[in-house]
Structure 1
């Protein structure tokens, strides 16, 4: 009788019962499916989160732009008569405003005061678009002897920004050499006797 040698190869796959092999494949397939769903959810979350952050950043930048006030004010002759009483000249003038900011602004009020000078807006509001100009009529009260000092006059503006909030802005206006000085000095000079 010949002896049969039975050799079992332990490295060989596929010796599990068919029923158990199918369950294992189903578990692996389910794990892959769940993993793919998690990866897809993560990718969608990243995309939506990036979009949301971008929109939030744009919204914040727009809000910041709408609150910025940047303007330049230049005195212009708007001379339409005036009076000289005891060395004090009262006349009408105008300020030319240039909006150098990124959003439209509405100038609600203008006011400035220092010894010898009073400037008051005449009450009308003026919308000035970005990069645009507008004129505001003002009443001036100037003392001939003290009004025209070398330091600029700090003019306060009450400005409504695009977000409908009022802000106070100051701008230095040079009076020396301005049209206001020219108009006032012509009235400050005593009349020539003939």
Structure 2
């Protein structure tokens, strides 16, 4: 053996391929399995997490949609003019209510009060789908001298939303120029004429 081969070169690498059928160390196999499991768990977690976030967002949006209430109301008709006090009309009327929300609502009650005006529903609930308009029967008490001024009639609606919660919604209504005002003009003019004659 020559002297040159007795020196060991530490930079030399053994580039011989592993022989077929040789055993890979257990530690290396365990590391590979762990890596594969971590990648699989990450992928599954990502898919489930994305699905969960999407479901949570959809659920929250549906809850918000069910909880929000928007409506529009205006006087629709009037009938049965009567009076027990001079200058004060007692009438039966109807209020048109439109559901401007994105979910169905049930109008449980409607009441209104303003200068010289009182309005209350007759107790029948109305289910309104989005965009629907329903007529609510109401009883009115209107004072001819003060009911038709510039102030708005403040209506309050008790509404049950899709999440079975009851909410109170205020909506102002203009009486001046409405059908209630127009149909009250003649009886009020009659009262005013009687007052003049009596005075």
Category of TM-score, reference length = shorter chain: 0.7 to 0.9
1:132-177 deviations in whole A, cap 9, x for unaligned?
1111010000000100111211100010111111110000100000
Task: Report how many residues are paired.
Answer: 187
- 5+ long unaligned stretches in structure 2: 195-199
TM-aligned CA distance change 1:141 to 1:3, over 3 Å: closer
**2:173 matched to 1:173?**
yes
1:46 aligns with 2:46: yes
Give ranges in structure 1 of 5+ residues lacking alignment. none
Show structure 1 runs of 4+ deviating over 6 A: none
- The TM-score with structure 1 as length reference comes to 0.88
Query: Any idea what SS the aligned residue of 1:94 has?
Result: strand
CA contact (8 A) 1:154 1:171 kept: yes
> CA 1:175–1:5 in structure 2 vs 1: closer, same or farther (change >3 Å)?
same
Q: Which residue of 1 aligns with 2:149?
A: 149
Distance (whole Å) between structure 2 residues aligned to residue 169 and residue 100 of structure 1 = 13
* Cα distance in 1 between the residues matched to 2:190 and 2:46: 79
CA deviations on 1:109-140 (whole Å, 9 max, x unpaired) are: 11111231100101100111101111101000
Is the aligned partner of 1:13 residue 2:14? yes
RMSD between aligned residues: 2.3
What is the distance in 2 between the residues matched to 1:34 and 1:78? 79
Q: How far is the alpha carbon of 1:22 from its aligned partner? A: 3.6
